[in-house]
């Protein structure tokens, strides 16, 4: 598809077949961009994601002085020797990662910075980050005094020291503090309470920073971190991994449509992505999954429901909820309450839209309870402006009887611009206008 239509029609009931290349990891690209922007040397980022969220990060790092060049291949990043005061408001669009990574970095810019975004981002909680920056000597405020963006920082006062922050709202807060601490003149120590959820993504941040020569000490359960002051990130050439968060939707589609689907370009050994857990979780639901040599392949089989703890992989909840609708028995998804604070109330939105298609799904306080083997049928559904809701509805539509009309489909560009093209490559009957 040239451009992504806002309304997509999907005709279900046809098996998929074939293989597609996984899109580049958005999470890895964000972190590589940020780390490279903090080095006064030049770095290359090969196979980058160019989704809308990453474009927001490119603009943000350029706002504090980095230069990013794209020449039909890698991103070439010339970083900064000091964080410059942006000339204008920093607009993070809809990217929570961008805001949570860049805001602590702007604490090092002399003067007043304002960080904001589009309406959905301005609804998302930022108070833990505000509180942590204040503990480090930085004046930081919510402009509306509600703990949400726009955020106002009086930079140049970062004094380092000890900071405590909650770890069950967003691990991105901790990643942002690690990026900021990596260029601070004074040591920084971070204590996370009570536990850190989505810990693998903080692990990815540490791994990327270590590639740039930054030393970070962390305890085994990743609740305490320490960073020496006076470090200078070096250059590094990154090769971005294929994205499990996006590939999960393709694998889910293969599992529920009587199909055989392969996704290549994924790290099948020692991936730093928390969402690589999708392979184990699909196997736990008795899907026929093989992962080897950079390819994950799934064949349809008789699926069974199970209990899924989403503490470290909340982005897998939407595709796995669809798989659960087609599996025998009951699936309970727990520890996913953070999904109420995404681009939409993702638990409520998924429950509402999948129910329109005949799914027996209800959202609970912290997840879903799904009675499987529902006979899904075509319906008119809405994305709620949420890329993962849109992709979930599309996957469900492939397994449904009849025709499904998906309104608001264009939001998939936020993370996976080629999503509908890839489904069509696999044989999905999809048209749009």
Looking at residue 431, what is its pLDDT? 95
Query: How far, CA to CA in Å, does 57 sit from each of 83, 99, 159?
Result: 15, 8, 26
Per-residue pLDDT of the chain in tens (433 residues, 90 and over written 9): 447 899 999 999 889 999 999 999 999 999 999 999 999 999 999 999 999 999 999 999 999 999 999 978 899 999 999 999 999 999 999 999 999 999 999 999 999 999 999 999 999 999 999 999 999 999 999 999 999 999 999 999 999 999 999 999 999 999 999 999 999 999 999 999 999 999 999 999 999 999 999 999 999 999 999 999 999 999 999 999 999 999 999 999 999 999 999 999 999 988 889 999 999 999 999 999 999 999 999 998 999 999 999 999 999 999 999 999 999 999 999 999 999 999 999 999 999 999 999 999 999 999 999 999 888 999 999 999 999 999 999 999 999 999 999 999 999 999 999 999 999 999 999 999 7
How far apart are the C-alpha atoms of 397 and 399, rounded to whole Å?
Answer: 5
The order of strands in the sheet holding 224-227 is 161-166, 188-193, 224-227, 216-218
Question: Do 232 and 39 form a contact (C-beta atoms < 8 A)?
Answer: yes
State how far the alpha carbon of 281 is from the alpha carbons of 21, 305, 327, 387, 421, in Å.
21, 10, 13, 22, 26
Beta strands in 55-206 (DSSP E): 67-70, 75-78, 90-91, 111-116, 139-142, 151-155, 161-166, 188-193
Helix/strand/coil for 419: helix
Rg over CA atoms, the chain: 21
From 333, 356, 346, select the one nearest 387 (Cα to Cα): 346
Cβ pair 157, 135 in contact under 8 A: no
Quick one: CA torsion of 312, 290, 389, 172, rounded to 10 degrees?
Answer: 30
- Find the DSSP H helices in 151-277: 172-181, 199-211, 244-256
CA dist 430 and 384 (Å) reads 20
pLDDT at site 1: 43
User: Three-class SS of residue 224?
Assistant: strand
Instruction: State both tokens at 126.
Output: 């930022």
- The strand pairing partners of 330, in sequence order, are 371
d(CA 379, CA 267): 36
**Catalytically annotated residues:** 315
H or E element in which residue 157 lies: none
Of residues 426, 429, 430, the one with CA closest to residue 252? 426
Write b or e for each residue in 243-260: b if 16 or more Cβ atoms lie within 10 A of its Cβ, otherwise e: bbbbbbbbbbbbbbbebb
> What DSSP state is assigned to residue 303?
-
Distances (CA, A) of 269 to 25, 265, 295, 386: 16, 12, 11, 30
Q: How far apart are the first and last CA of the chain?
A: 10
């Amino acid at each position: 598809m040239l451009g992504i239509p806002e309304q997509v029609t999907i005709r279900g009931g046809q098996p998929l077949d074939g293989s597609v290349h996984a899109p580049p990891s958005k999470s890895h690209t964000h972190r590589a961009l940020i780390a490279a922007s903090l080095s006064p040397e030049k770095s290359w980022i090969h196979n980058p994601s160019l989704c809308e969220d990453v474009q927001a990060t490119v603009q943000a790092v350029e706002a504090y002085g980095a230069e990013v060049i794209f020449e039909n291949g890698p991103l070439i990043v010339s970083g900064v020797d000091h964080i410059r005061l942006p000339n204008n408001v920093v607009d993070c669009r809809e990217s929570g990662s961008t805001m949570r990574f860049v805001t602590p970095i702007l604490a090092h810019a002399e003067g007043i910075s304002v960080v904001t975004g589009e309406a959905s981002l301005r609804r998302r909680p930022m108070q833990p980050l505000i509180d942590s920056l204040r503990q480090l000597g930085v004046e930081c405020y919510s402009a509306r005094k509600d703990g949400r963006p726009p955020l106002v920082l009086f930079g140049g006062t970062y004094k380092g020291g000890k900071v405590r922050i909650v770890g069950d709202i967003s691990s991105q807060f901790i990643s942002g503090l690690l990026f900021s601490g990596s260029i601070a003149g004074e040591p920084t120590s971070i204590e996370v309470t009570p536990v850190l959820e989505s810990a693998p993504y903080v692990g990815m941040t540490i791994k990327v920073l270590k590639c740039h020569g930054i030393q970070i000490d962390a305890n085994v359960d990743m609740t305490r971190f320490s960073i020496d002051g006076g470090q200078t990130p070096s250059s590094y050439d990154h090769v971005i991994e294929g994205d499990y968060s996006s590939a999960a939707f393709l694998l889910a589609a293969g599992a529920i449509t009587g199909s055989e689907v392969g996704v290549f370009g994924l790290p099948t050994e020692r991936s730093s992505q928390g969402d690589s857990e999708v392979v184990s979780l699909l196997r736990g639901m008795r899907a026929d999954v093989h992962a080897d040599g950079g390819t994950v392949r799934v064949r349809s089989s008789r699926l069974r429901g199970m209990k899924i703890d989403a503490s470290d992989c909340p982005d897998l909840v939407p595709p796995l909820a669809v798989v659960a609708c087609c599996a025998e028995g009951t699936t309970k998804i727990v520890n996913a309450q953070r999904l109420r604070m995404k681009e939409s109330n993702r638990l409520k939105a998924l429950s509402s839209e999948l129910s329109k298609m005949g799914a027996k799904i209800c959202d609970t306080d912290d997840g879903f309870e799904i009675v499987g083997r529902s006979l899904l049928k075509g319906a008119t559904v809405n994305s709620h402006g949420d890329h993962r809701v849109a992709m979930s509805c599309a996957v469900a539509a492939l397994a449904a009887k009849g025709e499904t009309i998906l309104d608001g489909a264009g939001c998939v560009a936020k993370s996976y611009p080629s999503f509908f093209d890839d489904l069509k490559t696999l044989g999905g009957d999809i048209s749009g206008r």
